[in-house]
Structure 1
Amino acid sequence: MNIHEFGKENKETILMIHPSVVKWDYFENIIPLLQKKYHLLVPALPGYDFENDSDYTSVERIASELNDWLKAEGYLELYAVYGCSMGGSIALMTALGQKIRIRHCVMDGGITPYQLPWIVTRFIALKDYLMMMIGRAGGVGLLEKAFATDDYSREDLQYVADVLRHCSRKTLWRTFDSCNNYKVPDLLPAIDTQIHYWYAKDEEKERKKDLRYMKTKFPQTQFEVLPDLGHGGLVLQKPELFVEMIEKLSV
């Protein structure tokens, strides 16, 4: 797994994990802002790395590999691990399996595992997979119709179309199957990490099950509502607000 680093001279370190159907450069607007103060670690996840011909594996495996890498590289502590959507799932599992101290875990619209019968999860994964395959085949024209009500430019949708064309069928299937069904331990490990769950006001309905899960499984979670944004919009549309929220985690 390629891990891009910025601001190496800084003391506090942040691991930033991108969502599905984008590349690591999802963070390109905030890297110049954050690297002034933080050492940034930005992995290019398997299946979404244009420099590495690989397939996506699973939420659990990627989290385990990130923890192994941090330990092997001699890191002693992370200020935070941040992940959006699929990245939020990986961020949570990274925090739960941490081999070095992680002070904050931020799930921005993070996906939590379904609490449903196994057969039902198969149908949901198949639906998500087929939607992505249709999007890949239809290209930017179809994506424009699908996202007509969202604040995405044609350039944004062309980017997504290019990523979808790069992704293998295996990557797309594993992405949605794993994000919806990864295994959180029944007996949670004792960790000294503050978990934060951020979600956009406009996605509250879509995140209903995730919010319920976090409140039940992780009652110590701190919740924050992001105004006037859709899913995954904070990094892309309000980078200055993102930086402000990261900086105040410990306040």
Structure 2
Amino acid sequence: MNFYEFGELNKPVIILLPGTSCHWKANFEEVIPLLEEDFHVVCASYDGFDETEKTVFPDMLTETDKIEKYINENFGGEIHAAYGCSMGGSFVGLLVQRGNIHICHAILGSSDLDQEEGLSAKCKAWMISRMISGMFRKSRLPGFMRWWIGRFPAKEQAYYKKMLDMFGVGNTRMAFVKRESIRNQFYSDLVTPIKNGISVPGTTVHIFYAVKMGKQYLERYKKHFKAPDIRRHDLQHEELLVCYPQQWADEVRNCCRIFPKNSKGKKENEQT
């Protein structure tokens, strides 16, 4: 696992955690410059998904250990914020519930937090890893998926194109990723439990709730976290991040109580 840092060290630290099978740069390259003015930005790059290493993604808990170790060794065990994109939200939940480091503002980006076990989880992981590894190897979507996306209005097609760019589909960037890493990541995310009613003193959990995903996800967030700050957006899964990066960055600042200069009624860089 690697960590890539941007911005001045004396600013509040925010760690960005990529989604399922995502390359850190494809996931966050548009928003890093938007955060650097106010944050010291750290991007995690998981085992198996960093081209500078010859590694395989092991499991969620082993990777969580590595994230905690990095935060403990480099930031004294406490950071201002963490943002988990999709599956990265599972890491945020694990980091909060384990209590080995402290996060002031824990932000989940429309994460689904799916949990399953047994044969069903293994079958899903096998199918997903087969499909995604084929997309990475060929740098394109399967024909049936291109047909399916082509049925949508232009605005929705643009959203799916942005999501595919976030995955790295359409270029050769992700051809190095092994199917085993994809399978391990997907399976481990399904079978690693997130506790219910998580509440840690001094930590606020913020949820970017994509309303178009469905009410079942709102119920899930409220089950896993006690009194989360729900931020509703009439959008699809991670659409705020991939299609509206400036609005996403503003929402992150809002969560972290970091406001731009001359913001009416707010102190510059007010933090909680």
Q: TM-score, normalised by structure 1?
A: 0.85
Q: Give distance in 1, aligned partners of 2:77 and 2:42.
A: 14
Contact 1:234 1:241 in 2 (8 A): yes
**Where does residue 213 of structure 2 map in the other structure?**
203
Q: Does 1:12 align with 2:22?
A: no
Query: Which segment is superposed worse, 135-144 or 67-76?
Result: 135-144
Query: Which segment is superposed worse, 158-167 or 241-250?
Result: 158-167
Structure 2 unpaired stretches of 5+: 258-272
**Aligned sequence identity (%):** 21
Larger radius of gyration: 2
**Offset at residue 137 of structure 1 (A):** 5.7
Within 5 Å, which residues of 2 pair with 1:1-251?
A: 1-25=1-25, 26-114=27-115, 116=116, 118-136=118-136, 139-142=139-142, 144-145=146-147, 147-148=149-150, 149=152, 150-151=157-158, 152-153=160-161, 156=165, 159-161=168-170, 162-185=172-195, 190-204=200-214, 208=216, 210-227=217-234, 229-251=235-257
Contact 1:109 1:200 in 2 (8 A): yes
Q: Give distance in 1, aligned partners of 2:242 and 2:63.
A: 24
**Offset at residue 219 of structure 1 (A):** 3.0
Residues 141-162 of structure 1: CA deviation (Å, up to 9, x unaligned): 5253454343244983893253
Contact 1:5 1:42 in 2 (8 A): yes
Structure 1 unpaired stretches of 5+: none
Q: Count matched residues.
A: 246
Structure 1 runs (4+) deviating above 6 angstroms are: none
1:34–1:125 distance in 2 versus 1, CA, 3 Å: same
**Offset at residue 52 of structure 1 (A):** 1.3
Contact 2:104 2:204 in 1 (8 A): yes
- Root-mean-square deviation (Å): 2.7
Contact 1:21 1:163 in 2 (8 A): no
